[in-house]
Structure 1
Amino acid sequence: MDKEINSTMNEVASTNDIPLEQQMTSTHKWQRISPIALIYFVLMFIKNIFGNFIYVAPALLIGYNKAMEDPSFWLPFFYGLSALLGLASLLSYYFFQYRLTNQQIEIRSGVFAKKYVNLPFSRIQNVELTEPLYYRPFGYTCMQLDTAGSVKQEAKVVALKKSFAQQLKHEILAAHLVQSNQVEQINNERSAADEQTSSIIPNEDDETVLDRRNLDDLVIHGLTNNRVWIFLGGLAPFIDKISAQIGDWLMIFGINVNQYFEFEGRSGWQIASTVLSTFLIVMLIISLFSVLGSIISFHDFKLSKIGDRYIRRSGLFTKTEVTMRLSRLQMIVCQQDWLDILLRRINLKFEQSNANFNNAQAGQLTNKIIVPSVTNKECQHLMLDAYPDNQLKNTVFKRVNPRLLIRNICLFLLPLSCFVAWIFVENENIEGLPYLGAGALFVGLLMVMRYSRWGYAKDDNFIYVRKGCIGVDYYTFPIYKIQQTSFKQSWFLKRKQLCSIEFVLAAGAVNVPYLAEADGLELIDTCLYEVEESKRSWM
């Protein structure tokens, strides 16, 4: 039955009459990916260059000034960079190889720094399929694999036929449900294993859609989660040049921007209206960019479920499919910015292992499934689907000790305010004191709001933590998911019989500051006892 397959990756992927198990057990030779991966490598190198924008910004600014004086200044750099990108992409493609053997995937990559990955299917936590826009006409996809305890993304095959990738994904997920003594049966008694696996793995036709996001939901998400100001901060070195270019462009249409900002001889209300209208126009443009980003990221969003697996699909230009088993879920987070609170919307996050968080970009994270801008009813439905016994909606939170607020005001706000006031007085700038007082009052109000948000609660199955400032975040996780606890007590806290505690999960740490020492010790002891008593795996 088994025979050697010596073809390229494309031939392996298109061999539909050979079962996937037979392909994996017989593909002992290293396979190359499709040449279409060259596009992927080129774009990744460009992305990495601009990802370090803060480092290249000074050079770009100097080069921009030179280019304005002499347009041919950039030509040698452009040709040199193009040649370097082309060579680097060719070498990356040439040295990238993979093979599938004995329920594991092996990957070799790297030009100068060689990298070898040997990843058994049973260790793989997440399987993410990504279809960039330039892959879709050719039916290719990227498969990204990571494990529960990985420090970064473990493996990524950047160009697989979509049909083959779907079969491989199904086989990887099946490996989690097949016992170790059944793995050998897959190699030796394939037909018997096929019957057993088919009885365990849910049918794809049984997929149940839990939630979809419409265009209006994505618009609300873009408005309430506006992060374009981070991008604008990166453009700070070029702001003068950009403003001048915009002014020259508007002059073509007969609009003189400078005359709107000539305040000499104008009344106070005219100046205020000009500043306010300018601010509103800028915020409108920023909001439009944010809404556009939300639509690109979450277009055609669908959250579905097959058996114990959650599947999230979304993306306008790059379609992404993320799969998460329910047993991998570590914590649910409900986030609301101030505008979310007004519109009664919630951003719901299903979080898994956080080991790859510090080494991956936000768009590449597979450690969480984000459901944007859901209503309270939809949020409750999704939470109860994952955790039927969860009582977040009816939980009464216990506040932390008021000394947290007193510490923040006395240790940070008052000393800083007094120091700035002293500088004003020394420089005889008495007019600035009212503004300083207003600023200090505003910061004090934020501190009061942050203190009032802090809260915690516990029931028989879950821990609940609430925090925030203008907005509010809720964290809820099963007690048996706790991997470690931390009891913190400084000299000041010990005198006041207070403490801070921290719960460490695979998805990260959740802390509760300034609670009574007796309550903290009781909470830790109870949680550790229940973890030991339940004997349930966090995976």
Structure 2
Amino acid sequence: MSRQHDRSVPEALSLQGWQRLSPWAIGLLLVTTSVSLVRQHMPLLAGAGAGLAMIERVGLRETALGGLTLLLVAALASLLYYRRFRFRLDGDVLIIQKGLFEHREFKVAARHVQHIAVHQPAYMRPFGVVQWEVETLAGESSSISLPGIHRELAEALGQGLKGRQEAPPDAESSDESVDAANVRAPVIRFAITPGALILHGLTSRSIYVIAAMLSPLARPLERWVHDHLPHLDLRGWLPPSPALAIGAGVLALVILLALLAVLAAWWRFHGYVLREGDGRQVQASGLFTRQEQALTLSRLQVVEWVQTGLGRLLGRGYLICHQFGAMGGGGAAESRRFLVPGLAANQGKELTATLWPGCRMEAPLARVSRLYWRVVFLRLGVGLTAALLLLVGLLGPAGLSPMLWGGMVASLPLVAAGVAQLRWMATGWAREGAYLRIRQGLWGQRTSIFPLTHLIAISVQWSWLQRRRGVVTLHLALANGGLTLPYLEEREALLLANQLLASVEAAQAA
């Protein structure tokens, strides 16, 4: 047996005994809990003035004593939680025992592990401690976290679960194959550059998320401007025309949002590196909080190539790799996604071919029926007309000039036709061997690529209009949600559905 394999045996055996969190985890748990509580409740208290009112009523000394008492209780609770938290690796099963007042035990089999993540905030780096998280096929609801362990132990746990997950049942291999597996070094598939990181911040959807987060500040800012603007002498640097002043204000707001989006991209994806080795893709990134995520290719279900409208103009996009249980939304799911940012179009194709061997994304996409354009046009036309009638009811016919009303009425069909054309042109599909590509979108586009064998369910839908026109709609159920191919020719859709079902049945029989 090789020397490298001999060194790996004690590491695996050491995990069979009960392991505890790092002693630094006591303070880290206290800091993490305190930061979480402050983040949740401080804006409410500070915004309503309740914090200052409480200090004035109770007194500064009493408030400090109360805070110190709470801190002491939290420290004792963290110490008790640390003493009752332990874990070990029993064969191919990870066993975790924890609980503050209620003792609980969790068991995770290596074959059920689909996602391992390692997080290291800035305050953990000096101590060499990380947050280790494992997720099973059930998704985020089944994730289990080790809040503070040494990096070496985290790497040993990941290697232990990975080795047992990928080991064959007979587990009888030669020394040469073991040495080859151990010596194989990870290959860097992608490393982001500063320019690509800036472009990702500008072309991602972060700018819309930031705008939504800052929207509650619009009303206080409006009151501040109303109260203080008349007392300020702004004639020297404001444009003389009100239209120019409003345009300059909108431009400044857009620049501010773009700057914040770029800063958010630097915060999340600084130093992004994607490595491949032993059937896994491992990414590491983060400016202050370093994050590592491992994606097992055998668990990969769907790959999405996403381009926003501005990203299409600049030739930039990003890849999202989906596994089972990855259809949740919100900020937590956003941070858990295995995402490759700042890719050019050719880089996206190369990485997709690496993840899905044999898929080159070169076959042209087939369009859906032109009837889909008419349906979208009619729906938008009806919706815009109803909105215009509602506006007339609120303002009255004399609320706007006749010329403006006429312009709005004349623009309704143009807007509906333009949106319908963009929607129809963005929708398409193509089959490349054992893979299927489906593209959806409007100005931005999202292309889903997956093997035919990863289809979970398929349904064929006819409406009364579709039956008359000889078209159908296909609904495909995948691990990350559903996809829709609207208004396909009936013969073509039924042939595609039969091919998909035949591929799934052949894979299950094999």
Match of 2:311 in 1: 340
Given the alignment of the two structures, is residue 382 of structure 1 paired with residue 351 of structure 2, yes or no? yes
Match of 2:266 among 277, 295, 303: 295
Q: 1:224/1:474 Cα in 2 relative to 1: closer, same or farther (>3 Å)?
A: same
Once the two structures are superposed, the pairs formed by residues 162-181 of structure 1 within 5 Å of their partners are 162-181=151-170
Distance (Å, rounded) in 2 between the aligned partners of 1:34 and 1:194: 37
Which moved further from structure 2: 528-537 or 508-517? 528-537
Distance (Å, rounded) in 1 between the aligned partners of 2:174 and 2:151: 22
Match of 1:433 among 405, 416, 419: 405
Once the two structures are superposed, the pairs formed by residues 261-300 of structure 1 within 5 Å of their partners are 270-300=241-271
1:19 CA drift (Å): 0.6
Match of 1:449 in 2: 422
Please tell me the residue identity of whatever aligns with 2:473: S
Distance (Å, rounded) in 1 between the aligned partners of 2:442 and 2:73: 48
Aligned pair count?
497
SS in 2 for 1:392: coil
The question of whether the paired residues in 1 share the 8 Å contact of 2:327 and 2:481 is answered with no
Given the alignment of the two structures, is residue 486 of structure 1 paired with residue 486 of structure 2, yes or no? no
Match of 2:320 in 1: 349
Match of 1:149 in 2: 138
Match of 2:200 in 1: 221
1:260 CA drift (Å): 3.8
Distance (Å, rounded) in 1 between the aligned partners of 2:235 and 2:95: 63
Structure 1 gap segments, 5+ residues each:
1-15, 183-191
Q: 1:94/1:426 Cα in 2 relative to 1: closer, same or farther (>3 Å)?
A: farther
Match of 1:397 in 2: 366
Please tell me the residue identity of whatever aligns with 1:398: R
SS in 2 for 1:394: coil
The question of whether the paired residues in 2 share the 8 Å contact of 1:24 and 1:102 is answered with no
Q: 1:523/1:356 Cα in 2 relative to 1: closer, same or farther (>3 Å)?
A: closer
SS in 2 for 1:174: helix
SS in 2 for 1:19: helix
Distance (Å, rounded) in 2 between the aligned partners of 1:17 and 1:383: 33
The question of whether the paired residues in 1 share the 8 Å contact of 2:380 and 2:416 is answered with no
Q: 1:129/1:69 Cα in 2 relative to 1: closer, same or farther (>3 Å)?
A: closer
Structure 2 gap segments, 5+ residues each:
1-6
Q: 1:370/1:233 Cα in 2 relative to 1: closer, same or farther (>3 Å)?
A: closer
Given the alignment of the two structures, is residue 370 of structure 1 paired with residue 344 of structure 2, yes or no? no
Q: 1:475/1:224 Cα in 2 relative to 1: closer, same or farther (>3 Å)?
A: same
Post-superposition CA distance 1:320-371 (Å, at most 9, x none): 2212222222122111112211211121222222347348714541xx4322
1:272 CA drift (Å): 1.5
Match of 2:22 among 34, 38, 49: 34
User: Could you tell me the TM-score, scaled by structure 2's length?
Assistant: 0.84
SS in 1 for 2:325: coil
Match of 1:203 among 183, 195, 209: 183
The question of whether the paired residues in 2 share the 8 Å contact of 1:98 and 1:108 is answered with yes
Given the alignment of the two structures, is residue 500 of structure 1 paired with residue 473 of structure 2, yes or no? yes
Distance (Å, rounded) in 2 between the aligned partners of 1:476 and 1:277: 43
Match of 1:106 among 95, 119, 126: 95
Post-superposition CA distance 1:376-426 (Å, at most 9, x none): 221222122222321423323223433432442254333333333344436
1:233 CA drift (Å): 3.4
1:150 CA drift (Å): 3.4
Please tell me the residue identity of whatever aligns with 2:345: N
Once the two structures are superposed, the pairs formed by residues 511-526 of structure 1 within 5 Å of their partners are 511-526=484-499
Match of 2:3 in 1: none
SS in 1 for 2:292: strand
Post-superposition CA distance 1:270-322 (Å, at most 9, x none): 11111121222222222221111111111111111113221111111111221
Post-superposition CA distance 1:247-269 (Å, at most 9, x none): 99xx9xxx998444999xx99x6
1:213 CA drift (Å): 0.4
Distance (Å, rounded) in 2 between the aligned partners of 1:379 and 1:230: 24
Post-superposition CA distance 1:476-515 (Å, at most 9, x none): 1111111211223344444444332122222332222222
Match of 1:417 in 2: 388
Match of 2:4 in 1: none
1:220 CA drift (Å): 0.8
Match of 2:107 in 1: 118
Please tell me the residue identity of whatever aligns with 1:510: L
SS in 1 for 2:251: helix
Given the alignment of the two structures, is residue 313 of structure 1 paired with residue 313 of structure 2, yes or no? no
Match of 2:483 among 492, 496, 510: 510
Distance (Å, rounded) in 2 between the aligned partners of 1:194 and 1:51: 55
Please tell me the residue identity of whatever aligns with 1:357: G
